Amino acid sequence: MNGNDNQYLGEEPVGVLMRKYAVPCIISLLVGALYNIVDQIFIANAAYLGSYGNAANTVVFPLTVIALAIAVMIGDGCCAFVSLSLGMKETDRARKSVGNSVVLMIMSGILLTAIYLIFSDTIIYMFGGSVNTETFRNSREYFFYITLGIPFYMFGQAMNPVIRADGSPKFAMASTLAGAVINIILDPVFIFAFKWGMMGAAVATVIGQIVTAVLAVWYLVHMRLLRPGKTDLRLSIDIVRRTLILGITSFLSQVSLVAAMAAINNMIRKYGAEDAVFGQEQYAQIPMAVVGIVMKFFQIVISIVVGMAAGCIPIVGYNMGAGLKDRVRKLFTTLIIAEASVGAAALIIVEVFPKGLIGIFGAANESVYYTDFAVKAFRIYLCMMIFACVNKACFIFLQAMGKALESTVLSMIREIVFGVGFALILPLKFGLDGVLYSMPLSDLLTFFIALWLMIRTYRELKTTPENVVVTEQVISEQ
């Protein structure tokens, strides 16, 4: 068992490698995104839940993202560390990172579940669940059962990139797909046949997550290159620190998104109450439900974007570790073009077919105010989608290169400085519409910074000689 088993990452054409790794990763992330989206579709089309259930789903969604943030920090960090280590033929250190990451996943999952259960009501209030009584009741019910599945969800999500780093992207895809298929099958049974409401949607999701986690455990004990031994499970401060440093961008990009969503939800609640229509009790939940739906469509697009970029992490890491900078530069170019193309296709869909999109989420059961606001939300909120896709690719590619600082700063500027800042400031002038303007403005300004970083990265890759083995400093950089 040695690092040479992955040497094809430095030899095969980058386009071939990108397809091999990115496609399964895209499918894995899309399937993962479907957990929450499928719940929302079935909830929206259940007349006894409708927009109240949709709003509750929107309230709870950021809380699942927090769990995902911790999981991807561990998983993506481990994936990047493993790929860099294999590029430098240090298989023992790669296995140690996997073992330490497994322990961290289990500990963090249990801890987060305990926090959620203890402070559930306070947390739901923080994320806008008090918009009206019915929304709060549905949020509370959905949140409780979703919380019970958090350890399984986190383990499955964190193991996904680790499995890819071991050279099995198809198994990573299949394990996630299995859980999602079970969720899709059980959702209509529990929601429509059993009439379990929000509990039914949550239980279906948790059962699917358990299946994915079980498959991840099976793979863990049958790993091809990186199966950890008992000694690898002993936490090493050095290994943990470097793994988390490489994964911190993934964490911050997710958790900062939560901060932006919390700001958006609360601004919707505040300025929706001042609106002539949405200030009425029976319509108060509509803006929150609609923005949640818009975010779900955006999540589908971002799953494709992140999947392409994250699928490149093992390829980038190995080639950086082996000093093959020309291949890294070529891969970066291919990725940026592909990401921009996805953004352009998605932009056409939201600008031309917003009514069709909202129809999937139960618009036929709602008032005209629901549809009108949804059309406006899709067209404004997502109008800078091309830039959003390129920005996300830049975050992840820099992370894969070991440039944790640049990637982290760029991500924080987008989500915290711009995302939260504009969500709080723009409504002061534009009211509820200001919430919708906050996202495109954030993506546009972030793109100018990302463009500067991309140009600088290209220059660095051109000036670094090929076939120079990168030292240990690459892993511990920043």
What pLDDT digit, counting tens, does each position of 118-154 carry?
Answer: 999 999 998 888 888 999 999 999 999 999 999 999 9
Tokens (6 digits) for 358: 């909202």
As for how many domains the chain has, the answer is 1
**Highest mean predicted confidence (pLDDT) among 12-16, 295-299, 329-333:** 329-333
Tokens (6 digits) for 363: 């618009």
Tokens (6 digits) for 415: 């989500």
SS3 assignment, position 117: helix
Nearest to 156 by CA among 214, 115, 206, 234: 214
Does the pLDDT value for residue 478 go beyond 60?
no
Does the pLDDT value for residue 89 go beyond 90?
no
pLDDT score for 205: 93
For 271, 291, 382, the CA distances from 429, given in Å and listed in that order, are: 11, 19, 20
Residue 406's pLDDT band (boundaries 50, 70, 90)? confident
Does the pLDDT value for residue 463 go beyond 80?
no
Q: DSSP secondary structure string, 231-271?
A: GGGS--HHHHHHHHHHHHHHHHHHHHHHHHHHHHHHHHHHH
Domain contains 159: yes
pLDDT score for 32: 67
Domain contains 4: no
pLDDT score for 471: 37
pLDDT score for 207: 96
pLDDT score for 26: 84
Does the pLDDT value for residue 292 go beyond 50?
yes
Angstrom distance (rounded) from CA 334 to CA 275: 46
At 44, the amino acid letter reads A
Domain contains 115: yes
Q: What would the mean pLDDT of 83-88 be, rounded to a whole number?
A: 82
Q: Which segment of 1-15, 146-160, 245-259, 380-394 scores lowest on mean pLDDT? A: 1-15
Angstrom distance (rounded) from CA 312 to CA 397: 8
Does the pLDDT value for residue 399 go beyond 80?
no
Q: Which segment of 9-18, 34-43, 250-259, 452-461 scores lowest on mean pLDDT? A: 250-259
Does the pLDDT value for residue 474 go beyond 60?
no
Q: What is the mean pLDDT of the chain?
A: 87
Does the pLDDT value for residue 184 go beyond 50?
yes
pLDDT score for 230: 86
Domain contains 3: no
Domain contains 265: yes
Residue 343's pLDDT band (boundaries 50, 70, 90)? very high
Domain contains 228: yes
Domain contains 38: yes
Nearest to 464 by CA among 304, 325, 278: 325
**Structural domain containing residue 313:** 20-476
Domain contains 110: yes
SS3 assignment, position 90: coil
Q: What would the mean pLDDT of 175-186 be, rounded to a whole number?
A: 91
